[in-house]
Amino acid sequence: MGNKVHCTVRFQKQTFQGQALLETSEIVFRATDPSFRLRLPFSTLGSVRASAGELRVDTPEGQAVFELGAKAEKWLEKILHPKTRLEKLGVNARTTALLLGDFPDDFKHELSKLEKSADGDKPPAANASIFLLANAPADLRAVAKAAKNLVKAVSLWVVYPKGQKDITEVAVITAGRKAGLKDIKVVSFSATHTALKFVLPVSAR
């Protein structure tokens, strides 16, 4: 993914190697040394700037310098002007959305601003997105049923918890592929959940 980079970070007079991840509302750095980890919510940051391949971030505990090379400017732009959740999910005013599961109220409110929404089993074929909430392994059984409603370019987003051993990205991908779908994109849905996008293979449309 473009928002995941192996890099060097300088912080509090120490240097660490590891993986930096640019999420929707925070930067996460996991060092190869398991004793060090940074989680920097955008809301807590002071000055953020990029120069000579370095992203310099002022935090309450001091400045963190990420050596990102050519990606420094791109990360700066995404931090200063982040996409909304609906933009990341490819949802716009012409999208018809169908929710399968008890989604949080804030997401429902975002969708309520769209021109169209759907309640039922079969959203229109044109520019439609199905969102399936899977908080437990048993919920993945609904992927096969939802897949039957996919035609043409209709997409299925499976939203599942982050960091849980009983429902992993591999399990979600496996459920989608068993249903004859192709996984094409993954985004951070919220601080607690990830969204993985499935579509019909071109040959099946």
Superfamily of domain 85-204: Vaccinia Virus protein VP39 (3.40.50.150)
Dist. CA 29–CA 75, nearest whole Å: 14
Dist. CA 162–CA 146, nearest whole Å: 22
What percentage of residues in the chain have a pLDDT greater than 90? 66
Q: Which CATH architecture has domain 4-80?
A: Roll (2.30)
pLDDT in tens, 127-160: 789 999 999 999 999 999 999 888 776 899 999 9
Residue-range domain boundaries for the chain: 4-80, 85-204
If one compares 204 and 121, the residue with the highest pLDDT of the two is 204
**pLDDT surpassing 60 at residue 77:** yes
Would you call 182 helix, strand, or coil by DSSP?
A: strand
Q: What is the mean pLDDT of residues 169-188?
A: 94
pLDDT classification of 1: cutoffs 50, 70, 90: very low
Q: What is the mean pLDDT of residues 171-185?
A: 96
Would you call 205 helix, strand, or coil by DSSP?
A: coil
**pLDDT surpassing 60 at residue 116:** no
Q: What is the pTM of this model?
A: 0.71
Beta bridge pairs of residue 48: 57
Q: What is the mean pLDDT of residues 80-102?
A: 88
pLDDT averaged over the chain?
89
**pLDDT surpassing 50 at residue 31:** yes
**pLDDT surpassing 90 at residue 106:** yes
Dist. CA 109–CA 98, nearest whole Å: 14
pLDDT in tens, 8-22: 999 999 999 999 999
Amino acid 92: pLDDT: 84
**How many CB atoms lie under 10 A from the CB of residue 69?**
13
With left for phi above 0 and alpha for psi between -120 and 50, is residue 174 left, alpha or beta? Answer: alpha
Q: What is the mean pLDDT of residues 103-126?
A: 71
